[in-house]
Structure 1
């Protein structure tokens, strides 16, 4: 892919990683991009780089616009290796003495990652620098969004926010801008990104959105480091982040389970029937061995009800389900009511252990859960249906 001029003398020069399918345990069936941006003017500025193995492609894209030696300033918004891995070769091409702007924590991280003698320039939030041609860069610290070093760079006069790992998606396609994609598909990718990367930092994101709003920044374009650029209506993704950061839930239930000889699966099916009868609008039954943990988490993010089922294996929860629970715990979803269920042969500890896991996540547990020995009988499946019915009614604030 060649550079694209996204605004007068502002170019997207990043690369597409078409083939990546796993990003830190997050499934990426559509690949991803490592976006980088070049501002041409009296002072030429490169904002962010790419994964190390894509550096030559980045240099080729830069050369299509200018000689890398003509770059005067490099900005590192975030030091994670998918954005800073190319820095050693980029700085060698640009010139080791050229200023490399970053946050205070960014300077520490870059020094520890690379141990290069770079001309690091630490900037603080709201600090501005003139780059000539009537243009100004302003830096906005965004600590723990999602690393301690993270920051935004704002091209003030053009109203362009280079937002690093915020507002992005793991998506690689021929499209560059939001108006070139179906909005529902784009928001799905953005939601998955939020659910699996940014959800634990929701309280900080809510504060940041408020602070940015109070700064009165005009936003003509939002340029994340992954995926599609928002130019038609950046307010769409800002509004979505506002909802997601408040962890608003829908009239929705997710039933996740694993099964050994289909008994727990039969229980899950009966519970789903009860949830549907209760009037829950969206009911998602998910077998954890047939779905990726990151897709499961995307569904759970805005669900009010989470039902979790496991048979007992060696006095424990089934391992594939435990993988999902461990992953979920780290992402800290909030505002859920939950219940456990499961079948067993001779010991039956899984439901008790599931309750402990769900309680540790801060979920409300209005029911003790249901455990059934061997294959469920008709009356036992009726109990499972009743559990789903009661949980569905509770989720809607209706009488149980």
Structure 2
């Protein structure tokens, strides 16, 4: 169903309330998501992005109810990933000669995924497309935000930035606009999206934000490819991104662990108690990674100034669940974070040291010796763990 965004610009996407996993199973979508596609109807009719392939036929059929497909003068593909481009096959089977505007890298990704030679028109930053009535589309390359092929498109006159993945969230909200959404849910889903997807590209994003702001474009609406459309003070999300990409941290410490027989869990609780005793103002969050959604824990680590990681020793190493979690964490390339490690053991006790070595290689600043406890912690061990928490609070 078409929904008006502003003047002759409409949303023609798909709200997916059932989605619970994204990027395979690498990203949790507790609130679903949306695949935002936009129809611009000036002297020329332009379609900006499409939807994920499972909804391609539904998308094309709905589009037919709104417009004669042959009247579409061009399709803008801001990013070739399948959640944005998935309906191109079905759409271009019906209007095969329609020009497709995208970056040169997007030609590579689209042909690589769909094995079709469409009527590509490659663009780069500064290129424009006149769409009539005194309006034009201006293209801005967004390389590595978060694919090499990404770009944003700006509509003059209406002052709309079609930002693609930047500034989005996985949040299925039928009201479409940020001023109608639950603010707490929106803010959480926005930072979760940044932490788990865009963090590795923070320095690139920092430079790109400066570039976009230097253009001094008036922006009335930021129309994302996922989640809500920012129409009420849209610059607020730009300001959030400016903070998040600058080695972001809050006054928070996150303790994350897995445990076999609750010994490492007991240490985690004692460390948390020691931190709070030393510094009641710091927020301490404790998570068993085997029982908590991975992406939610990553979001809390992104917000934190310190990560305290725990695992018992098994097979002379950390638990596989912890190793996998740390591998994902390393890929995100977070900066300006301190770290410490701990764990119980029965025979050899290598896990805390190996976790510490891994975190140090990932760029974390270790602030204490790896703490290990032989067998189940007794009162003395709990006291020692609380003292560790006190030291970490001071660090």
TM-score exceeds 0.5: yes
Structure 1 unaligned regions, length at least 5 = 395-400
Residue matched to 1:398: none
The structure 1 segments of at least 4 consecutive aligned residues displaced by more than 2 Å after TM superposition are none
- Structure 1 position 61, deviation (Å): 3.0
For residue 367 of structure 2, give the secondary structure of its aligned residue in structure 1: coil
Offset from partner CA, 1:117-168 (integer Å, 9 cap, x none): 3110000101111011211000000000000000001001111000111100
Residue matched to 2:335: 334
Residue matched to 1:96: 96
Measured on the aligned residues, the alpha-carbon RMSD in Å equals 1.0
Residue matched to 1:7: 6
- Structure 1 position 109, deviation (Å): 1.6
Distance between the aligned counterparts of 1:193 and 1:355, measured in 2?
27
**Pairing of 1:1-400 with structure 2 (within 5 A):** 2-24=1-23, 25-93=26-94, 95-279=95-279, 280-394=281-395
Distance between the aligned counterparts of 1:311 and 1:117, measured in 2?
54
For residue 365 of structure 2, give the secondary structure of its aligned residue in structure 1: coil
Matched-pair contact (CA < 8 Å) for 2:15–2:174: no
Distance between the aligned counterparts of 1:64 and 1:164, measured in 2?
25
Offset from partner CA, 1:191-219 (integer Å, 9 cap, x none): 00001100000001111111111000111
Distance between the aligned counterparts of 1:113 and 1:88, measured in 2?
11
Matched-pair contact (CA < 8 Å) for 1:254–1:300: yes
Distance between the aligned counterparts of 1:317 and 1:3, measured in 2?
52
- Structure 1 position 291, deviation (Å): 0.6
Matched-pair contact (CA < 8 Å) for 1:305–1:392: no
Q: Which moved more, 1:98-107 or 1:62-71?
A: 62-71
- Structure 1 position 235, deviation (Å): 1.3
Distance between the aligned counterparts of 2:282 and 2:197, measured in 1?
27
Distance between the aligned counterparts of 1:62 and 1:281, measured in 2?
52
Q: Which moved more, 1:211-220 or 1:115-124?
A: 115-124
TM-score (norm 2): 0.97
Distance between the aligned counterparts of 2:218 and 2:392, measured in 1?
44
Offset from partner CA, 1:214-258 (integer Å, 9 cap, x none): 000111000110010000111111111011000221110000011
Matched-pair contact (CA < 8 Å) for 1:277–1:389: yes
- Structure 1 position 281, deviation (Å): 2.2
TM-score (norm 1): 0.96
Offset from partner CA, 1:9-36 (integer Å, 9 cap, x none): 1010000222121112111111111110
Matched-pair contact (CA < 8 Å) for 1:100–1:118: yes
Aligned residues: 392
Q: Which moved more, 1:230-239 or 1:54-63?
A: 54-63
- Structure 1 position 67, deviation (Å): 1.4
Structure 2 unaligned regions, length at least 5 = none
- Structure 1 position 60, deviation (Å): 2.9
For residue 392 of structure 1, give the secondary structure of its aligned residue in structure 2: helix
Distance between the aligned counterparts of 1:57 and 1:247, measured in 2?
42
Q: Which moved more, 1:5-14 or 1:271-280?
A: 271-280
Distance between the aligned counterparts of 1:84 and 1:304, measured in 2?
38
Matched-pair contact (CA < 8 Å) for 1:257–1:265: yes
Distance between the aligned counterparts of 2:42 and 2:31, measured in 1?
35
For residue 202 of structure 1, give the secondary structure of its aligned residue in structure 2: helix
